[in-house]
Amino acid sequence: MPDGSEPAEARLPVRVVTILGLFSVAVLLVAGAALVVTWPTAPHRSSYLPIRLHAYDPATARVEVAPQVTFRQGQIPAAAIAEPVTGSLMSERVRATWYDKVGYQTNSVDLAEINTLRTSPVPLSTTSAVPAGTYQFVLATIRGDRVEEVLAWVHVEIER
């Protein structure tokens, strides 16, 4: 029957595990504090940049005048901004990019100014019809070759 007096060698693993546990808790607390301090804030410039979607015809390289909400298989969506942009954003270089559901880039265009996207919508594909599925359109300002700020992010479903 144990009398409560264990040898020092038996208590050593318990102390080591306790010290390692306390160390890991301290590391998690420091990492959490660093995350809170460095978490990016929302941009203060603009809220919602409305995007219109139009059907694109690759044979004629033209878009339908009327915007659409839904697309059927065989139709190619093209994205445009709904309203002219004014202020400092007007002169910013932007990148309009389409992605498929797994994140593969299907089309990307760099524009010298954002209002070009009002008159020249960017299609999901310029060469052929795309299969049914979910696609994303992302409009972002760029500095050099890097994305600086995402202005719009739209999900589009092409139905069968």
The dihedral built from the CA positions of residue 83, 84, 89 and 95, taken in this order, carries a sign that is positive
Q: Kindly tell me if the per-residue pLDDT of 160 is higher than 70.
A: yes
The whole-number pLDDT of residue 5 equals: 65
**Contact in structure between 105 and 130 (CB atoms under 8 Å):** no
Is pLDDT of 7 > 80? no
Does the structure show a pLDDT above 60 at 2? Answer: no
How far apart are alpha carbons 140 and 122 in whole angstroms? 13
Q: What is the pLDDT of residue 46?
A: 46
CB atoms inside a 10 Å sphere around CB 72: 11
Task: Please write the tens of the pLDDT for every residue from 25-70.
Answer: 999 999 998 888 777 654 444 446 889 999 998 888 888 888 988 8
What's the predicted TM-score (pTM) here? 0.67
79 neighbors 69 (Cβ within 8 angstroms): no
1 pLDDT above the threshold of 60: no
